[in-house]
Amino acid sequence: MSSPSSAPEQRFSARVENYVRYRPSYPQEIIPLLQREAALTPQSVIADVGSGTGISAELFLRAGNAVHAVEPNREMRVAAERLLVHLPNFHSINATARATTLPDHSMDFIVAAQAFHWFNTPETRAEFTRILKPSGHIVLIWNERKLDSTPFLQAFEQLLLTFGTDYTQIRHENVNAAALSTFFGGAYDIHTFANEQHFDFEGLKGRLLSSSYAPAAGQPRHDEMIAELRRIFDAYQVSGQVSFEYDTRVHVGR
């Protein structure tokens, strides 16, 4: 049997609907940031690598960009196609970060949102160099959930530490400054935006189960985890809602 952290391309196959419904989007301020700092225009061509269900692709499509959404997971790719088919300039590609199938030096921007920690390898860097124009930029984006800014978020973090199958091993924060410096080959800029979500209990449960390390229904400790989630929600809800707070970090380099 595969270990929980193996085959990252397949980890989210059974979680797509929760991912679509309950994962956070990205701040609209990212577009004017890239216009100011990296010469983004509506004519810029974007490779969204590890594009998942299309959350980040939609941000750029609505700004007028052509987006080549590269995603190896069939279920996530199909969800993106269903959600974004009505938007012009959306191109869905069944490929990986190491072999995108895109032409040489064809992309103005390569974007990886909530994905780069899955494919931070020398092969990926070589592929990005191949497909990026000489004047192009690489943009790595993560929504970083605040872990201890409220009692609720402290309790939720403890739930993940208690029940997550390999939570500490696959957290995107494991891609640290040294790893990013190595990938970018030197300097890169970091910009931070505030982001948040508000959930009732069903939304909170869907948000939890969108994570690949949360035991799914039928797996060991799932029922115990959901009971603890209910206890946490009841303890900290205000008017039937709890809030996730994020720092959205945008790393811009070449």
CATH number at residue 102: 3.40.50.150
Kindly state whether residue 52 falls inside one of the protein's structural domains.
Answer: yes
> How far apart (Å, rounded) are the C-alpha atoms in residues 210 and 195?
18
Q: What is the pLDDT of residue 140?
A: 97
Residue 112: phi, psi to the nearest 5?
-135, 110
3-state secondary structure of 1: coil
Average pLDDT of the segment spanning 127-152: 97
Kindly state whether residue 232 falls inside one of the protein's structural domains.
Answer: no
Between the alpha carbon of residue 87 and those of residues 80, 173, 208, the distances in Å are 11, 32, 29
Q: What is the pLDDT of residue 37?
A: 97
Q: Which pair of structure tokens corresponds to residue 72?
A: 């190896």
Kindly state whether residue 100 falls inside one of the protein's structural domains.
Answer: yes
Q: What is the pLDDT of residue 175?
A: 79
List the single range of 30-39, 56-65, 163-172 with lowest mean pLDDT: 163-172
> How far apart (Å, rounded) are the C-alpha atoms in residues 229 and 225?
6
Beta bridge partners of 46: 67, 109
Percent share of the chain, pLDDT over 70: 93
Q: Residue 138: which of 82, 101, 91, 97 has the closest Cα? A: 97
Look up residue 238 and give its amino acid. V
Kindly state whether residue 206 falls inside one of the protein's structural domains.
Answer: no
Residue 168, pLDDT > 80, answer no
Sheet holding 107-113, edge to edge: 90-93, 66-70, 45-49, 107-113, 132-145, 242-253, 189-199
Average pLDDT of the segment spanning 133-146: 97
Run of H or E including 201: helix 201-209
Q: Say which residues have a Cβ less than 8 Å from residue 34's Cβ, sequence separation at least 6.
A: 40, 109, 137, 139, 252
Q: Which pair of structure tokens corresponds to residue 204?
A: 């909170």
Kindly state whether residue 95 falls inside one of the protein's structural domains.
Answer: yes
Q: What is the pLDDT of residue 246?
A: 97
Kindly state whether residue 165 falls inside one of the protein's structural domains.
Answer: no
Domain count, the chain: 1
For residue range 180-202, list pLDDT tens digits in order: 999 999 899 999 999 999 999 99
Look up residue 209 and give its amino acid. L
Q: What is the pLDDT of residue 180?
A: 94
Beta bridge partners of 196: 245
Kindly state whether residue 127 falls inside one of the protein's structural domains.
Answer: yes
List the single range of 31-45, 70-84, 167-181 with lowest mean pLDDT: 167-181
HEC string for 89-132: CEEEECCECCECCCCCCCEEEEEEECCHHHCCCHHHHHHHHHHE
Q: How many residues does the chain have?
A: 254
Average pLDDT of the segment spanning 117-137: 95
98 and 125 Cβ atoms separated by less than 8 Å: no
Kindly state whether residue 226 falls inside one of the protein's structural domains.
Answer: no
Residue range(s) defining the domain that contains residue 106: 8-145+171-196+246-253
Look up residue 173 and give its amino acid. E
Q: Which pair of structure tokens corresponds to residue 9?
A: 């391309």
